[in-house]
Amino acid sequence: MGKRPPIPPDIENGTPPLPPLPPPARPPFRPPIPVPWYAWLVPLIFAANFITFATTMYVNDCPSRSDNCLLFDVLGRLSFQPIKENMLLGPSIPTLRRLGALERRLVEEGEKWRLISCIWLHGGLLHLLANMISLLCIGMRLEQEFGFLRIGALYVISGLGGSIMSCLTDSRGERVSVGASGALFGLLGAMLSELITNWTIYENKCTSLMTLILIIALNLSVGFLPRVDNSAHCGGFLAGFFLGFVLLLRPQYGYVNPKYIPPGYDVKHRKSRHKCYQHVFRFTSLAILLAGFIVGCTKLLREHTVESVPFRDVN
C-alpha cells in the first residue's frame, strides 16, 4: 500500500494556512512640474526699442537748435520736436519717414521692408513708454510659458499683419505710421485664443475670459483717439488671435508624456495629447491666417485699397 501524504504542520496543530502576501505597492508617480522658460527675448526687444528711439532722436532733423527744440545732451545730442509739433516728445515726421516709417505710397514703390521696420520706431517718448510697459506686462509671462521661438514669431508676424492692414485702409496714402502696438495687440489676441483652445486646463474659466475681453476692449478703445492708427491695432490683433491657435497649444488636462512614466507602470485611461477641437482650431486658423496674408499682400501689390479711417500717424 502507498504511503499517505504528510499532513502539513498547520493542519496538525489546527491553525489555518497563512494568506498569500500582497503584491508590492507600486511606487508613487507624479509627472514633473514644467520648468518655465528663461525670458530673454522680451527684454531684448525692450532694449532694442529704446536704442532705436535714442538713435532716432540723435539723427532727428530739428529746424532750429535754439528755442524751437527741446534739447537733451545725452550721448551727444538728442533733439525733440517742439510740443506744438509733437505732443509725444519725439522726432519729426521727415525723420521717421527716412528711418523706415510705414507709408503706403513708399511700400507700393518697392520699399516692402517698411512693413517690418515701422514696428521698431515710435512717435515719441510717451508712445514708447506706453508700448514698452505693455510689452513687459504681456510678453514676459508668455515667453516664460511658451519660449522665445513662438513668442518671437508671434510678435513679428502680428506686427506685419498690423502693417498690412494699416496700408490697406489708407486709401489716400497720406498716413505715416510707426509703433509696436500692432505686435502688442497680436500678443493680446494670442492670449485670448490660447485661453479658448486650452480651455480644459484653466480654473475660473469664465472669470479669466471676461477679464481678458475687458482688457482687450479697453486697449482697442484707445484707437479712437486722434492720430492713432486703429487699423494697425485691429490687424495685429487678428493676426495674433489666429496665430495663437497654431502656436500656443497645450496638452489637455490629465495628459502624461510617455517618457515620464516609470517602466512597468500601467496608466489606466491614458489621454491623448490634444483634444479634437484643438486640432480643428489649429488647422482652420492656419488656413484663415494664410488666406488673409495672401489676399492682403496681393491687394497691396496691386495697389487696391479699401475705405480708410481718418489720417493718423502712430499706432
Using CA atoms, how far residue 14 sits from 8, 11, 18, 24, 108, in Å, is 10, 5, 12, 30, 103
Phi/psi of residue 212, nearest 5 degrees: -65, -40
Is there a domain that residue 307 lies in? Answer: no
> Hey, what's the cell of 202?
484653466
- Which residue segment(s) compose the domain that 288 sits in? 40-252+273-301
Domain annotation covers residue 26: no
User: In terms of DSSP bridges, do strands 70-72 and 78-80 run parallel, antiparallel, or are they unpaired?
Assistant: antiparallel
Strands (E), the chain: 70-72, 78-80
Q: How many domains does the chain have?
A: 1
Please give the chain's pLDDT, 315 residues, in tens. Answer: 556 666 555 555 555 666 776 766 666 666 677 788 899 999 999 999 999 999 998 887 655 444 444 444 444 466 777 777 778 888 888 889 999 999 988 888 888 999 999 999 999 899 999 999 999 999 999 999 999 999 999 999 999 999 999 999 887 777 889 999 999 999 999 999 999 998 888 878 788 888 888 988 888 887 777 778 889 999 999 999 999 999 998 887 767 666 666 666 666 666 777 788 889 999 999 999 999 999 998 888 775 444 443 344 556
**Structural domain includes residue 34:** no
CA distance 145 to 139: 10
pLDDT at 4: 62
What is the pLDDT, as a whole number, of residue 305? Answer: 42
Sign of the C-alpha dihedral, residues 91, 94, 95, 99? positive
- Is there a domain that residue 215 lies in? yes
What per-residue confidence (pLDDT) applies to 183?
Answer: 95
Any idea what the CATH number is for the domain that residue 291 is in?
Answer: 1.20.1540.10
Q: What is the pLDDT of residue 119?
A: 95
What residues are annotated to the active site?
A: 181, 233
Is residue 210 one of the residues assigned to a domain? yes
CB-CB contact of 177 with 101 (8 Å): yes
The DSSP line for 63-82 is S-SSSSSEEE-SSS-EEEPP
Question: Is residue 5 assigned to a domain?
Answer: no
213 inside domain: yes
Residue 192 placed within a domain = yes
